[in-house]
Amino acid sequence: MSDQLSLDSIRSVLTRLEETIIFGLIERAQFRQNRAIYRRGEIWRELEGESLVGFLLHESEKSHAKVRRYTSPDEHPFFHDLPQPILPDLDYENPLQPNGININARIREAYEGEIIPFVCEPGDDRQWGSSSVCDVANLQNLSKRIHYGKFVAESKYRLQREQLWPLVWRGDAAALMDAITDAGVEQKVLDRVYRKTVTYAAEFEGSSCGHKINPEAVREIYRRWIIPLNKEVQVQYLLERVQD
């Protein structure tokens, strides 16, 4: 099996992404919710119909598309009008089946509408630019973590073809969700994420400034959004999978 699909390799990518996600949330939590940066329309009429965060995310994706970020099988853009790469193609090893699964619209909705109020204190501190820069990074990190479900699903499929293929064939999403769910592993992830956040949000002499993140909030973000959306990507991917 391709090295990218070994359970060890997948586990180590996902475990390392926890640091990236927690650091990013801690960074964002130092600022207020700043709802204005998610609003479209009059307030940002110069930004082509986008919010400040949407505008900066779009700009970031345009430049990353030029250097071929979205030709990598573990990267998924939020926008679909991106320029062609200006660098020559890389020969990525791609162990996935061709698929067009991309749930970034739902990730963005959940992040802006639900995760931000969960992580940041209410109100506006006018740190709009800094907050938006954090948001762009966080959205890209969450998207990577959640869409990594494709690798998880492909790996599980190859290991349990006989169990999974009949469910795929019947298009039985509920049974697939059941089959890919491992409550013990999920609990381990939640516990570890909590412990990590306790450590990273430690208080230091002189660090009283800025809101520190609540470790329960990070665990809850994993429980309510990251894990379920990741599993949904897995199920969608399996439902599209063809037999081999």
Distances (CA, A) of 159 to 154, 184, 220: 9, 19, 30
Q: Is 82 in the site for a second copy (CB under 8 A)?
A: no
Do 112 and 234 meet the contact criterion of CB atoms below 8 Å apart?
no
Shortest gap between Cβ of 181 and a second copy (angstroms)?
20
**Which span (106-114, 153-161, 208-216, 231-239) binds a second copy, by CB under 8 A?**
208-216
Per DSSP, helices labelled H in 47-112 are 52-66, 104-110
- The half-sphere exposure of 106 on its side-chain side, counting CA atoms within 13 A, is 12
What percent of the chain is helix, strand and coil (3-state, nearest 5)?
Answer: 65, 0, 35
Task: Write out the H or E segment, with its range, that includes residue 48.
Answer: none
Residues 170, 186: Cα–Cα separation, whole Å: 27
Segment near a second copy (CB under 8 A), from 85-93, 152-160, 176-184, 221-229? Answer: 85-93
Closer residue to a second copy, CB minimum distance, 208 or 243:
208
Contact region with a second copy (CB under 8 A), list: 46-54, 152-160, 165-173, 228-236: 46-54
Q: Long-range contacts made by residues 45-49, C-beta under 8 angstroms, separation at least 24? A: none
Q: How far is the CB of 230 from a second copy (least distance, A)?
A: 17
**225 phi, psi to nearest 5 deg:** -125, -55
Task: Return the residue matching tokens 């998207």.
Answer: 143
CB of residue 218 vs a second copy: minimum separation in angstroms?
Answer: 14
Structure tokens at 104: 């970034």
Measured from the CB atom, is 12 or 163 closer to a second copy? 12
Least distance (Å) from a second copy to the CB of residue 60?
7
Judged by CB under 8 A, which of 35, 39, 64, 158 binds a second copy? Answer: 64
Determine, following the binding rule CB under 8 A, whether residue 47 of this chain makes contact with a second copy: yes
Q: Which stretch binds a second copy (CB under 8 A): 148-156, 161-169, 179-187, 207-215?
A: 207-215
State the DSSP code for 222. I
Binding of a second copy at residue 154 (CB under 8 A)? no
157: Cα separation from own chain's centroid:
22
The answer to whether the CB of 156 falls within 8 A of the CB of 57 is no
Give me the 209-238 binding string for a second copy, x by CB under 8 A, dash otherwise.
xx----------------------------
With H, G, I as helix, E, B as strand and everything else as coil, classify residue 186.
helix
User: Per rule CB under 8 A, is residue 84 in the interface with a second copy?
Assistant: no
DSSP-derived letter for residue 42 is G
Q: Which stretch binds a second copy (CB under 8 A): 100-108, 170-178, 190-198, 224-232?
A: 190-198
| Chain contacts with a second copy (rule: CB under 8 A) | 11-13, 15-16, 18-20, 23, 26-27, 30, 44, 46-47, 52, 55-56, 59-60, 62-64, 66-69, 72, 86-88, 129, 132-133, 137, 192, 195-196, 199-200, 202, 204-210
